[in-house]
Amino acid sequence: PDLGRRFAERKRCADAECSMLMCRGKATRDFTGPDCRFVNFKKGEAVYVYYKLIGKSTELWAGSVGSDFGYFPKDLLEINHNYSNEELELPTDVSLIYYF
């Protein structure tokens, strides 16, 4: 299917609105995204995860660093705290993307 600007058709979240934190981790190295949909961070910064893409782009998660929000490769994050063990599977929808 044509996903347009979406990277995947489905995602996993801690709640139906994808507004609750799933986990927090520490960046294992610097990351600069290819466009404005990605969040940039430096090694050692705290990264907060709000949802995880599943299906086509399982390597991308969405979260925040400071006041910036966006996608990043999950392999660049060392999880150090889980806020929720519950994961709901939901369709990705551009209207559900939160920007802080």
Structure tokens at 62: 């969405």
For 14, the domain range is: 10-86
E strand segments, 7-86: 10-13, 23-27, 46-54, 60-65, 68-73, 77-82
Q: Is residue 4 part of a domain?
A: no
Identify whether 100 is part of a domain: no
Domain total of the chain: 1
Query: What pLDDT is attached to residue 96?
Result: 40
CA nearest to 76, candidates 39, 33, 30: 30
Whether the per-residue pLDDT at 94 is higher than 60: the answer is no
Confidence category of residue 95, pLDDT binned at 50, 70, 90: very low
Q: What is the pLDDT of residues 4-30, one digit of tens each?
A: 566 788 899 999 999 999 999 999 999
Which pLDDT tens digit goes with each residue over 41-83? 999 999 999 999 987 666 899 999 999 999 999 999 999 999 9
Does residue 94 fall inside a structural domain? Answer: no
> Residue 85: its pLDDT value, please?
85
Domain harbouring 32, CATH code: 2.30.30.40
pLDDT for position 100: 38
pTM: 0.83
Angle at 44 between CA 8 and CA 36, to 5 degrees: 40
